[in-house]
Amino acid sequence: MCHQFAEVFQEAIPMKIDITSILSEAGLHLEQKGSATFSFSDVHLTKPLEFDLRFTNIGNAVLLDGTVESEVSLNCGSCLSDFAYPLHLELNEEFLSTYDAKRGAEEDMTPEELSIFTYGDDRLLSPDEAIRQSILLNLPMQPFCSPSCKGLCPACGANRNEGECGCTVEKEEPVEDRWAPLKALKAPTGTSKRRRNPRA
Ligand SMILES: [Zn+2]
Ligand SMILES: [Zn+2]
């Protein structure tokens, strides 16, 4: 027997999935597909989030897996403009029942402290936090609007991607040279001194 639901969500978060129908037996699953407008405090989505999720009773937990797609607004580290960054994420997280956890275990730590996802006695599972964490983990450390971003003019601050500002700026130092002062700091003092003052 297989429970399948494919409802279309258009509500805002929190998304609450009633998993009562799959809890009676391991192997049962339900599916949720659609799009929803999410607003997280630390992630700015510029599009509704498209999701295709499956919730499976795997015996000791409910496995959430599936895909999530959206777009997030990031700030380019080079030209400082905001740009849209597409998200295509695969989720794979287990949710434990807080009811069972309370009964069976002598846990000193709460599920939150253990970074475990849970659902409660109401049998409503919310994937929001798992989605949020997955988005954060998949954002680039150094966002760039494009691999060929020209950055800002060091003289007038104009965004060089938007055209020539007309400034005459000396040719930029090659990327390696920018790190030269740092390398000199890291190098053993003796070595860098010898290099700077070679003996005749
Ligand atoms: Zn840029
Ligand atoms: Zn300029």
Q: Summarize pLDDT for 47-65 with one digit per residue, the tens.
A: 999 999 999 999 989 999 9
The ligand that comes nearest to the alpha carbon of residue 165 is 2
Q: Please report whether residue 194 resides in a domain.
A: no
Report d(CA 16, CA 126) in Å as an integer.
5
Q: Determine contact, residues 87/102, Cβ cutoff 8 Å.
A: no
Q: Please report whether residue 196 resides in a domain.
A: no
pLDDT digits (tens, 9 = 90+) for 100-133: 555 555 556 566 666 689 888 889 999 999 999 9
Six token digits for residue 143: 């966002």
Determine the distance separating the centroid of ligand 1 and the alpha carbon of 78, expressed in angstroms: 5
The ligand that comes nearest to the alpha carbon of residue 163 is 2
Q: Please report whether residue 157 resides in a domain.
A: no
Q: Can you name the residues that pair with 53 across neighbouring β-strands?
A: 32, 66
Q: 3-state SS string over 72-133?
A: EEEECCCCCCEEEEEEEEEEEEEEEEHHHHHHHCCCCCCCCCCCCEEECCCCEECCHHHHHH
Letter string b/e over residues 4-42, b meaning 16 or more CB atoms within 10 A of that residue's CB: eeeeebeeebebebebebbeeeeebbbbbbbebebeeee
Determine the distance separating the centroid of ligand 1 and the alpha carbon of 197, expressed in angstroms: 40
How many domains does the chain fold into?
1
Q: Please report whether residue 121 resides in a domain.
A: yes
The ligand that comes nearest to the alpha carbon of residue 82 is 1
Determine the distance separating the centroid of ligand 1 and the alpha carbon of 54, expressed in angstroms: 37
85-103 mean pLDDT: 84
pTM here?
0.69
Determine the distance separating the centroid of ligand 2 and the alpha carbon of 85, expressed in angstroms: 27
Q: Please report whether residue 42 resides in a domain.
A: yes
pLDDT value for 173? 56
3-state secondary structure of 2: coil
pLDDT digits (tens, 9 = 90+) for 175-196: 555 656 666 665 554 444 444 4
Q: Please report whether residue 174 resides in a domain.
A: no
Determine the distance separating the centroid of ligand 2 and the alpha carbon of 115, expressed in angstroms: 49
Q: Which of 172, 139, 148, 174 is nearest to 78 (CA)?
A: 148
Q: Please report whether residue 8 resides in a domain.
A: no
Determine the distance separating the centroid of ligand 2 and the alpha carbon of 181, expressed in angstroms: 26
Determine the distance separating the centroid of ligand 1 and the alpha carbon of 145, expressed in angstroms: 4
What range does the domain containing 119 cover?
A: 17-137
Q: Give the β-pairing of 62-75 and 82-97.
A: antiparallel
